């Protein structure tokens, strides 16, 4: 909103000292993160008190874990802090008519609403199962469908790729090193020299034009799968104090950096990556959410004063997935979101191995010989005697290492 105010004043010859700073993405991103951090830290406490008065306390099942009883009654649905602290700076400091910003705001509201409904049913309606799993999936698929269709059909979502001999084309005029704007379903392949992958290539039996016209039939289902998988991964990771928030902060910071360099033609030329027009604004969104999550983490570190609940975890996972997709970096997700992936796999493997051993050796053997002491993986380490703070800190360190690997892929091919 403030950017549009700056434009209006500028075009009408009204010059206010310092107002021209709003044309810079770096300035608006800095202001956004400061404001989101302030809102989360200052008003977060008030939101926690409201949740406590509304009796939105966590109903903790007895899993035999250390410190579990102390968590009983801790307010949940704290994801509202992250949502509010993100949306206010985003509305103020971004060009909110930008298609990518619209998609990301829709993701926050959509996934936040699904998570809120789940938390509401659990805490207010005393339905221990909350929202049915199939309804969550329907919601995630719906978001994936919206994102996939928008990415494929919206005219403002385009790509500029570099010429193979870009340095020969023009060493001084950077824009001349890039091909004309294209409307294609292309993504980045990590660690590959020619690191661009076009989804239309999967339809190898068609000619190029026909494959391009029908690429949506491949692209949209993949988008749906990514959104569903990452949002569920973040949801499963949210099991101990500070884990989901801490790991998400690292992921969001990495995506913010990738958004900035992808939306800046000079950096895109230097790093030899795709230039994504209008992408710079998403840097402000990602940085605003980083501030909101860090502010939330102030109250969520051990011992937590509030839990984010599904309101926060499903929303965070959805935003991370959509950010990666619009940045054409979705193939980096298994590395960047490695903690989410491992947590998800631990649950799947626990179930599969249990069923296999039950069928082959009987129920008693399967119960006494589980793959993990408990799933998801963070509970396995709790059962093994690790304090949850140590588990969280070490997983965050691993998350930092994975983020560095992702950034290295910009040049390591």
What confidence score (pLDDT) does residue 345 get?
A: 94
For residue 55, give every residue at least 6 positions away whose Cβ sits within 8 Å of its Cβ, in sequence order, or none.
123
* Dihedral sign of CA atoms 37, 43, 49, 53 in order: negative
pLDDT of residue 66: 59
Return the structure tokens found at 195.
Answer: 């690191």
What interhelical angle do 388-408 and 243-262 show, nearest 10? 10
**Per-residue pLDDT at 194:** 73
- Classified as helix, coil or strand, 236 is helix
Sign of CA dihedral 206, 212, 217, 219: positive
**Backbone phi, then psi, for 285, in 5-degree steps?**
-60, -50
Q: Tell me, what's the pLDDT at 59?
A: 55
Residues whose CB is less than 8 angstroms from the CB of residue 351 and which lie 6 or more positions away in sequence, other chains included: none
CA 369 from centre of chain: 35
d(CA 215, CA 18): 47
Q: Give pLDDT, residue 128.
A: 67
CA atoms within 13 A on the CB side of 94: 30
Burial of 39 (0-12, 13-18, 19+ CB in 10 A): buried
- Prediction pTM value: 0.93
Q: Where are the domains of the chain?
A: 2-57+72-335
Q: Which two structure tokens, joined as six digits, stand for 52? A: 């406590």
**Residues 300-322: b if buried by 16+ CB within 10 A, e if exposed:** bebebbbbbbbbbbbbbbbbbbb
pLDDT per position in the chain (413 positions), as tens? 788 877 788 788 888 887 888 889 999 999 999 999 999 999 999 999 988 887 665 555 555 565 566 667 788 889 999 999 999 999 999 999 999 999 999 999 999 999 999 888 887 766 666 777 788 899 999 999 999 999 999 999 999 888 776 555 555 678 888 888 888 888 988 887 777 888 888 888 888 888 888 888 999 999 999 999 999 999 999 889 899 999 999 999 999 999 999 999 999 888 888 899 999 999 999 999 999 999 999 999 988 889 998 999 999 999 999 999 999 999 999 999 999 999 999 999 999 999 999 988 898 888 888 998 888 999 899 888 898 899 999 999 999 999 999 999 888 77
Cα–Cα distance for residue pair 44/16, rounded to 1 Å: 34
- Neighbouring C-beta atoms of residue 18, cutoff 10 Å: 7
The answer, yes or no, to whether the previous bond of 407 is cis (omega within 30 of 0) is no
d(CA 245, CA 24): 29
């Amino acid at each position: 909103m403030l950017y549009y105010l700056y434009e209006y004043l500028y075009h009408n010859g009204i010059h206010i000292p310092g107002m021209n700073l709003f044309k810079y993405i770096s300035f608006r991103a800095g202001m956004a993160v400061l404001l989101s951090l302030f809102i989360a830290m200052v008003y977060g406490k008030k939101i926690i008190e409201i949740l406590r008065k509304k009796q939105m306390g966590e109903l903790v099942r007895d899993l035999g874990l250390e410190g579990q009883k102390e968590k009983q009654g801790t307010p949940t649905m704290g994801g509202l802090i992250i949502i509010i602290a993100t949306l206010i700076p985003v509305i103020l400091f971004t060009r909110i008519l930008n298609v990518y910003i619209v998609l990301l705001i829709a993701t926050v509201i959509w996934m936040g609403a699904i998570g809120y409904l789940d938390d509401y049913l659990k805490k207010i309606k005393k339905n221990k199962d909350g929202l049915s799993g199939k309804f969550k999936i329907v919601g995630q698929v719906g978001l994936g469908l919206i994102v996939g269709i928008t990415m494929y059909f919206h005219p403002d979502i385009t790509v500029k790729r570099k010429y193979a001999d870009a340095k020969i084309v023009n060493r001084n005029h950077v824009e001349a090193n890039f091909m004309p704007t294209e409307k294609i379903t292309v993504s980045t392949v990590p660690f590959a020299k020619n690191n661009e992958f076009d989804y239309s290539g999967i339809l190898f039996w068609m000619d190029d034009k026909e494959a391009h016209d029908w690429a949506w039939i491949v692209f949209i289902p993949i988008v749906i799968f990514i959104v569903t998988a990452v949002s569920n991964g973040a949801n499963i990771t949210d099991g101990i104090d500070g884990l989901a928030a801490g790991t998400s902060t690292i992921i969001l910071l990495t995506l913010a950096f990738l958004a900035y360099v992808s939306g800046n033609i000079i950096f895109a030329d230097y790093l030899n990556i795709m230039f994504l027009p209008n992408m710079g604004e998403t840097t402000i969104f990602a940085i605003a959410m980083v501030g909101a999550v860090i502010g939330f983490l102030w109250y969520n570190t051990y011992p937590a004063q509030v839990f984010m609940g599904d309101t926060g975890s499903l929303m965070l996972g959805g935003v991370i997935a959509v950010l990666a997709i619009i940045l054409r970096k979705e193939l980096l997700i298994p590395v960047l979101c490695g903690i989410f992936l491992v947590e998800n796999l631990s649950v799947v493997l626990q179930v599969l191995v249990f069923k296999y051993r039950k069928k082959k050796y009987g129920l008693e053997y399967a119960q006494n010989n589980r793959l993990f002491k408990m799933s998801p993986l963070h509970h396995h380490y709790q059962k093994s005697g690790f304090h949850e703070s140590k588990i969280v800190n070490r997983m965050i360190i691993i998350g930092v290492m994975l983020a560095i690997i992702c950034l290295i892929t910009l040049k390591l091919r």
